[in-house]
Amino acid sequence: MLIKCIYLNQYRSINHRVDARSLCLYRWYYSRTCQWSLGLTITVVLLLAFVERPTSLSVSSDPRYRTLTWEPPCGVTESIEMVCLIIFCLDLAVKSYLIGWDEFRKGKWLIGYTMVISVSIIDWVLSVSMVCDEKLRVRRLLRPFFLLQNSSLMKKTLKCIKRTLPEIASVILLLALHLCLFTMIGMLLFAKTENGEWRLHFRNLTTSLTSLLVLLTTANNPDVMIPAYSLNRAYAIFFVAFSVIGTYCLMNLLTAIIYNQFRGYLLMSVQTSIIRRRLGIRAAFQVLSCLGAAEECVCVDTVLKVMSRVQMKSYYRSTITMEAQKYADVGTMDRQQFQKIFEELDKDRIKEHPPLPQYNSPILQRLQVIFSHYYLNIFGNAVALVNVICICTVLVLNSEKSTAERDNNILEVMNLCFILFYLFEMCMKVFAFGWRGYLSYRNNIFDGLVTILLLVTSLCYTLLLEPSYHGAVSLWEMVRLVNMLIVFRFLRIIPDIKLMALVASTLLDLVKNLRAFAGILVMFMLCVYLSVLSNTSMENITSNFTMECGTYEQLQYWPNNFDDFAAAIILLYDVMIVNNWQAFMDAYSRYTTEWAKVYFVCWWLTSSVMWVNLFVALILENFIYKWDRSHSCSVTDVERIRYETTVQLMFKYVDTEPTEEELLCQLHQHPHLHLQ
């Protein structure tokens, strides 16, 4: 029972069984091995889309060049999928047992989890009984649910999206009215005119709506207005007015509303997570106080015993243990003191570098001061800049020469000199900081790896100069590899420029917080792809097409199709970027039905309008948070501090702490923890 109350750093709910056997199961279930195994299972079941029929196991997705691909025999992917479904059943059973039947009935996600697994197993049985010859696999549409239900942050994000939709409905409606209004004006303005505008873009209502909707994304600008504008420049007023109002006003207003509403709802979700942590701390105090010397205090020895057994990052465990040991003389802690020691979970981790090595010789001490000075980094950056300039100069001089005419001797000697300097610089830093201190800086690790690669590549280049050597790599390819590594090494300037370091740190943190957004996008991609899998192949139409300028056929967009999952991902990504997306929409509406336009418009709204704007909101929030925190920091402080930014940490300073009455009220509603 003691161990259960300290699972606070993951913001988990404490509404689960608290007996000894259940707590052992709880610890095993949330262990790193078990959670990684569950994540691997989800990854495998999602990746089955690449190897299931139609497979993506081909070099090219172009039906003109695609060779016959290997199709897995019936039962291979089905066996893998059944193993995954069995693991999901075990996962559901453990979760259900830990929270109890009453809590299970309240959990919509667990009920949905049960239904998805049940439908998937039934569909799997039907598929096997039909020898894998079924036309539709319903369970494919349900697979993204496994990814969604396993991530609490992803569920929060989806809930925020759901709550944000009504708030932006007014702008969507205004955008639709704007589109319809200009569509009617355009059909009246260009009614059977001689300039071709009516024939190409305003022939009927569907064509007019499509043309202006694509113009809203600027994908067909200025093509859509050229026929009219070529005869009378006054026609440009119509298209400019449409773009200014729709693209620059309404679409940007939509972005602002999405950002504001999403931030508010995400703040509410994060606030709930913070309350869970505070509730866990309060529950831990209540449980431990029952075993202590007094009713409203806990024994320090008991807290230290619990912390020695808890599964937690070593940094936080040691910090909390040190804070608890401060009360060892008294022997007990009250509620405020107990809560204070766990405030360390809310703090950023400061990366401490190892101490510098100690040298007895005054000469070595002086050299250590020189080699560890900040100006040495500046000088190294200047040398790297000179190296890049020299490479650019040689490339410009050799740009008009063939490979055989190029004289690589100058570039080789120049690279050798710079590589020797980089190696000498690395040795100086190792001498000044020691191996542990040198490796404690991420930019030093980057510099060292690139320097070693440069040295190895240069040695290989020297071996290639031997007349008796005949390798698969040409001299010019080896020279290019060396210079590409040198160009990458120039990225070492990033930590030494404050704003650039801030931007780079923001990008790195986005990778950690992007899992929820990327997962939702993958979920939508899977659903969208699997919903059109049966009737959108381009395999049989490559020999019968028109060559009208700007069409799918004339632009040779054949590799962009729905013939397999990998090709579909690229096609949906191209539509999300909205560059020339009208070509895909036009082609699929011609070869299938007009409803294909609705399909592409829905994907554009989901991905480009909603998801991209949410991603922009995350970037803005992350950057503003970092900018405010590092505004008073120097360049060395930005390098010294390793920001471990999470969504909870970003909103920490605007959260409101729950009151004691709120915590006690929720604590007494615990289904399994009955306190007096």
The DSSP-derived string for 34-80 is: HHHHHHHHHHHHHHHHHHSSSP--SS---TTTPPPPPPPPTTHHHHH
Q: What is the per-residue pLDDT for 117?
A: 95
Range with the poorest average pLDDT among 33-47, 238-252, 361-375, 604-618: 604-618
What is the end-to-end Cα distance of the chain in Å, rounded? 16
Tell whether the model's pLDDT for residue 420 goes beyond 60: yes
Confidence of residue 9 (pLDDT cuts 50, 70, 90): very low
Dist CA 104 CA 422 (whole Å): 61
Q: Between these two residues, 18 and 674, which has the higher pLDDT value?
A: 18
Q: What are the two backbone dihedrals, phi and then psi, of residue 529, each rounded to the nearest 5 degrees? A: -65, -50
Q: What is the per-residue pLDDT for 657?
A: 66
- Kind of pairing between the strands at 332-333 and 298-299: antiparallel
For the CA atoms of 604, 605, 611, 614, the dihedral, rounded to the nearest 10 degrees, stands at 140
Mean pLDDT of the region 340-368:
78
Percent of the chain scored above 90 by pLDDT?
Answer: 10
Q: Between these two residues, 218 and 391, which has the higher pLDDT value?
A: 218
Confidence of residue 659 (pLDDT cuts 50, 70, 90): low
The predicted-structure confidence for 91-101, as pLDDT tens digits, reads as follows: 999 998 888 88
Q: What six digits make up the tokens of 377?
A: 């980094």
Tell whether the model's pLDDT for residue 283 goes beyond 70: yes
Domain ranges of the chain: 31-150, 165-347, 362-496, 504-645
Mean pLDDT of the region 419-444:
85
Dist CA 429 CA 60 (whole Å): 48
The predicted-structure confidence for 454-485, as pLDDT tens digits, reads as follows: 777 777 766 655 444 444 445 556 566 666 66
The predicted-structure confidence for 514-530, as pLDDT tens digits, reads as follows: 666 666 677 666 666 65
Percent of the chain scored above 70 by pLDDT?
Answer: 71
Alpha-carbon distances, residue 432 vs 355, 356, 435, 436 (angstroms): 11, 7, 9, 11
- Decide: 267 and 651 in contact? Cβ < 8 Å: yes
Tell whether the model's pLDDT for residue 298 goes beyond 70: yes
Q: What is the per-residue pLDDT for 264?
A: 63
The fold for domain 362-496 equals Four Helix Bundle (Hemerythrin (Met), subunit A) (1.20.120)
Mean model confidence pLDDT for the chain: 77
Q: What is the per-residue pLDDT for 458?
A: 73
Residue 639: Cβ-neighbour burial (10 angstroms; 0-12, 13-18, 19+): buried
Tell whether the model's pLDDT for residue 88 goes beyond 90: yes
Q: Between these two residues, 508 and 335, which has the higher pLDDT value?
A: 335
Q: Which of 606, 604, 605, 596 has the alpha carbon at shortest distance from 538?
A: 596
Q: What are the two backbone dihedrals, phi and then psi, of residue 480, each rounded to the nearest 5 degrees? A: -65, -40
Q: What six digits make up the tokens of 590?
A: 């011609």
Q: At a CB cut-off of 8 Å and minimum separation 6, what does 250 contact? A: 171, 174, 175, 178
Q: What is the per-residue pLDDT for 470?
A: 45
Q: CATH classification of 165-347 is 1.20.1250.20, yes or no?
A: no
Q: What is the per-residue pLDDT for 111?
A: 92
